[in-house]
Structure 1
Amino acid sequence: MTEPSLKKRIWGWFFFDWASQPYHTVLLTFIFGPFFASVAAESYIASGLSEQAADARAQSIWSLSLTLIGLTVGFGGPVMGALADTAGRRMPWIIAFSAMFVVGAGGLWWTEPDGSNLIWALVFFAIGFIGAEYALIFTNAQLPTLGSPQEIGKISGSGFAFGYLGGLISLAILLLFFVEQADGRTIAGLAPAFGLDPEAREGTRFAGPFAALWFLVFMIPYFLWVREVRGEHRPHSMRAALASLIGSVRGLAKRPSLASYLGSSMLYRDALNGLYGFGGTYALLVLDWEVTQVGVFGIVSVLAAAAFSWLGGGLDKRFGPKPVIITTILGLMLVCLTIVNMSRESFYGVELAANSSLPDMVFLGCGIMIGGLGGVLQAASRSMMVRHADAEAPTESFGLYGLSGRATSFLAPALIGTVTALTESARLGVAPLIFLFLLGLILLPWVKPDGDRANTWD
């Protein structure tokens, strides 16, 4: 069989982002997550809890599940990566985790609208999400083989842009043709496709099988065109994998640039995730937006992320990832500062007219900046990690990168919750994110623009 060209390999690699993005866009953020929360709350109300208590319990169980998933991915990812590196193979792991993605997403169809099987719904969601996140570690490790150090940033940014576009299109398809509103029709005024029963919420529940089918179809180019460079075939050894991982962690003491980068990215990526999670809540609580407005806000953010990621990849190629990371962090700090200083009544201390639309327009602009700069920041961060990854064990290196991204995943939500409780203001609750971004920025001067190892790419 003829080996695929480098261009085909790159496009095949892009298709993993396209195929997997709906798990984040469709299931986690905009459709299944809110659906699960509403089902859980209604179930708890039916059991006798007050609406406020039911909402709190629903949010708690969803947050707890995401925390456990994050811990599993964060602490298991480096071990999985080391295990694959010591055996010299990655593709079998990608296939296995892809199967988890499909099984987990497909299983969400059986989420009962009466809340009778909430735990099983969370189990299926966790299986799919863990599969998606673990597979991402292994595909990220293939990035160094796709181009020179100067080209990696452009490739990474284009991959993120392509993935966000896939998430946007999949979300639009579901909203237009499947997900039912209160009147049983989609936002396009149509009955859910394929005769799905709106009374049983089948249009919304179809989001899970849809994400699974989307993944199956669009992973075909990936498996056809991406070839891994096989190392020496060795049996899997957990002892060797753990020894390699422990050695890598200890070796951080001799690699100050990598250690500083992992610490920096741990803080600013946590702040970014907090900002992602806060946007809809802010719009609802502070600006009194309707859910449909929040949906438009989400679509605009994803579209901006796709466009900015592509443009950011070009800037990365020209200037390198470090200046791009610094610029985007400063931009996101400005966004946070604007959010803190804006309400329905005032903007940076200036009183607004009672029916002023300025806060709505400004926050929509903030949504564009959050999605756009966030996409660029993630792409440039992946590019910077490539410059620090161990050429002999890239999967393990990206496992450490994944661990650093999850190790403090509780910090931003905890800080937002604490400040919100102390100030009794959802608006001021975002203020700690400025501090997290700032700490990440402070560590960047110790990060070398071209990494701290000799690059070995052809």
Structure 2
Amino acid sequence: MAAPSHGKRIWGWMMYDWATQPYHTLVITFIFGPYFAEQVIAMLTADGMSSDVAKAQAQSIWGYGLALAGLTIALLAPILGAVADSTGRRMPWIRVFSALYVVGAFGLWSAAPADFPVVTVLLVFGIGMIGLEFTTIFTNAMLPDLGTREEIGRISGNGWAWGYVGGFISLIIMLVAFAENETGVTLIGIAPLFGLDAAAREGTRFVGPFVALWFVLSMVPFFLWVREPRNGHGGHGAGFGQGLRDLGATLRSLPARRSLFAYLGSSMFYRDALNGMYTFGGIYALGALEWSVVDIGVFGILGIVTGTIFAYFGGIADARFGPKSVIAVCIVLLMGVAGFILTITRESVLFIAVAQDSALPDIAFYVAGGVIGACGGAIQSASRTMMVRQANPERMTEAFGLYALSGKATSFLAPALIGVASDITGSQRLGITPLIGLFLIGLILLAWVHPEGEEV
């Protein structure tokens, strides 16, 4: 069989973003995350807890669950990356963690509202998230093989944009055909398809099997068209030991590699803050603005549209101005929108009182969501190409393992800080204030990052 063309290799690689974006969009952010909070709030208020405290507690529980999954990823990511580089294999790891992704996503069906199984739900969610993050390490490491140093920014941006298109389509399907609101109908006023029981929230819970099936079908082009270069290393046993030794040497060298070290630190904080905005945006709207899951889904559509557009144009800006400039501008804008969100309540916008039935808070939050989506698309694409510039080409998977570590070493921090702040203040609004500080730290550390990496 003839080897796939270069164009097919790029398209196959971009299909990974298409395949996995629904986990971010539907599970973490706009459908399942708010549904989880909704069920926990109902459970806690039924036990006598006040509504405001229950909302903060639900946000806290979700945050602690994310933190535990993130800590697991942080501990294992660089080890797996180093081993993959030493064995010269990436595809076997992608297959293994793809299976975890599918099992974890499908398991979300278990989140029935009757006797809501909080621990079980957080466990299967964590399994899916681990599968997602670990497959991302190995697919990201393939990016440098797809084009020249000048081309990979555009390829990365196109990949993110294509992923957002997949997220958009999957969200539309869920909102139109499955996810039910409080009256038991979808966005277009029909009962969930396939006879799913709205009273048991089967339409919303179907997000798990839907995301799993989407992934399985969408990864077919990836496995058909993507090829990995072999580096000639021997068997897995020898590679494992060598991988750990190489990782140790890399970690010891980081303080002397100022640009790489600073970038890993910077991305550690700004990506954690961005993930916090994505993860808790829907939950915040659910509690502070009393939105339904369907309302949050519409909010998600807006964010995805702006994310798609600006991931594409962010790739163009990356190619012209470099990824560092794109990252810096996005951080500043995200800090501003985080501060803006703090002023949005049902009764006020920018600390100015509005009528109880005013649509202005909703409009303001939609605007904030559009900006978050735009900056998120551009900054994540630019971050991926910046890592390529900072990394040793011979240790690319290990580098993206460290990149995952930098994204997850403190991934427990934003959810944990939000959880603690929500617990202490009893307020969802004040609970998200730590995000501004995390963005600021990331911006400060970015000053020590050389735009072209160490080899200049």
User: Is the CA contact (8 Å cut-off) linking 1:150 and 1:320 kept in structure 2?
Assistant: no
2:445 corresponds to: 443
Alpha-carbon distance, 1:265 to partner:
1.0
Query: Which protein, 1 or 2, shows the higher relative CO under an 8 Å CA cutoff with sep ≥ 6?
Result: 2
1:161 corresponds to: 161
User: Is the CA contact (8 Å cut-off) linking 2:181 and 2:292 kept in structure 1?
Assistant: no
2:276 corresponds to: 274
Q: Deviations over 1:348-375 (max 9, x none)?
A: 5666677654443333222111111111
Change (3 A) 1:2 1:168: same
User: Is the CA contact (8 Å cut-off) linking 2:153 and 2:316 kept in structure 1?
Assistant: yes
> How does 1:52-451 map onto structure 2 within 5 Å?
52=51, 58-115=58-115, 117-237=117-237, 238-287=240-289, 289=291, 291-341=293-343, 348=350, 357-416=359-418, 426-451=428-453
Change (3 A) 1:423 1:199: closer
Q: Distance in 2 between matches of 1:220 and 1:35?
A: 30
Change (3 A) 1:123 1:421: closer
1:20 corresponds to: 20
Instruction: Supply the AA of the counterpart residue of 1:124.
Output: V
Change (3 A) 1:350 1:109: closer
Residue range with higher mean Cα deviation, 279-288 or 232-241 = 279-288
Q: Deviations over 1:316-361 (max 9, x none)?
A: 1111101111111121122233334555666556666776544433
Alpha-carbon distance, 1:138 to partner:
0.5
Q: Distance in 2 between matches of 1:183 and 1:142?
A: 46
Q: Deviations over 1:37-64 (max 9, x none)?
A: 4444545666x45465766665454333
Q: Deviations over 1:200-224 (max 9, x none)?
A: 3322222111111111111011111
Change (3 A) 1:178 1:340: closer
Residue range with higher mean Cα deviation, 7-16 or 60-69 = 60-69
Instruction: Supply the AA of the counterpart residue of 1:136.
Output: T
Q: Deviations over 1:140-175 (max 9, x none)?
A: 000010111111111111111111111111111112
Alpha-carbon distance, 1:20 to partner:
1.0
Q: Deviations over 1:257-282 (max 9, x none)?
A: 00011111111112212222343354
Q: Deviations over 1:81-139 (max 9, x none)?
A: 11111111000110111111112222323433313644333332222221111000000
SS state at 2:181 partner: coil
Q: Deviations over 1:169-195 (max 9, x none)?
A: 111111211223333322222222222
Aligned residues: 453
Change (3 A) 1:331 1:242: same
Residue range with higher mean Cα deviation, 20-29 or 428-437 = 428-437
Identity %: 54
Q: Distance in 1 between matches of 2:159 and 2:8?
A: 13
Q: Deviations over 1:223-263 (max 9, x none)?
A: 11111011114222433222111111111122100001111
Change (3 A) 1:225 1:147: same
* Normalised TM-score (structure 2): 0.91
Q: Distance in 1 between matches of 2:163 and 2:319?
A: 19
Change (3 A) 1:354 1:64: closer
SS state at 2:151 partner: helix
* Normalised TM-score (structure 1): 0.90
User: Is the CA contact (8 Å cut-off) linking 2:29 and 2:278 kept in structure 1?
Assistant: no
Gaps of 5+ in 1: none
Residue range with higher mean Cα deviation, 249-258 or 283-292 = 283-292
SS state at 2:189 partner: coil
User: Is the CA contact (8 Å cut-off) linking 2:56 and 2:426 kept in structure 1?
Assistant: no
User: Is the CA contact (8 Å cut-off) linking 2:67 and 2:412 kept in structure 1?
Assistant: yes
User: Is the CA contact (8 Å cut-off) linking 2:318 and 2:326 kept in structure 1?
Assistant: yes
User: Is the CA contact (8 Å cut-off) linking 1:40 and 1:115 kept in structure 2?
Assistant: no
Q: Distance in 2 between matches of 1:366 and 1:23?
A: 22
Q: Distance in 2 between matches of 1:286 and 1:181?
A: 18
Report the aligned-residue RMSD: 2.6
